[in-house]
Amino acid sequence: MNLPTAPTPSLVLASTSPFRRELLGRLQLPFEVAAPEVDEAALAGESPVETAERLAREKAQAVAARFPGALIIGSDQVAYCGTKRYGKPGTRANAFAQLQAMRGQTVIFHTGLCLLDSASGGVQLCGVPTEVRFRQLTDVEIGRYLDREDALNCAGSAKSEGLGIALLESLRGDDPNALVGLPLIALCRMLRSAGIPLP
């Protein structure tokens, strides 16, 4: 006699990012997408690492009530070099200024990741840093890049999954997907721990 198996919890991505949606799709698991209404501003005295990880958790928590019994994925990324943070530029002028400031520098892109079990309230949380070394970019190269790539909604203005890779000298980190916005290696580990079968 076969014993009934517990139903697999549904999976929800608490993000409107098309990049995170595409990355999660690589795992070939069914999932829903929900927009978290979260203020992404840093708190006073908060480090970039703390900001990214807090916001990952808050994004997951923001949609939990809508999805009882689901596993909810929240993620956030903060780029920084020393005490300077680089958010989504929003305008071409801001993107140009960011890339000027980052040329020849090593910038850390810290990606916070949270998996929230809305049934139990259990939380798995981690951070995955990626060290990005920018080339000594000329103003002409920066302008040419911004003419060709829409990088205004990307922290640090450099989309490594697109033409932005040409701006870089090197990348160093545990998971190349983390830089795009969703650390799949860490997420797979969390999902397996939550009982989701993955190869």
**Beta strand pairing call for 11-14 and 71-81:** parallel
Cβ atoms of 89 and 95 within 8 Å: the answer is: yes
Transcribe 29-68 into DSSP letters.
---EEE------PPPTT--HHHHHHHHHHHHHHHHHTTST
Q: Which of 76, 147, 150, 174 is catalytic?
A: 76
Is residue 76 among the annotated active site residues? yes
Contacts of 195 (CB under 8 A, 6+ apart): 8, 9
Residue 135 contacts residue 104 (beta carbons within 8 Å)? yes
CA distance 119 to 32: 17
| Kind and range of the H or E run holding 111 | strand 106-117
For residue 26, how many other CB atoms are within 10 A of its CB?
Answer: 10
Q: How do beta strands 106-117 and 71-81 pair?
A: antiparallel
- Residues with catalytic roles: 76
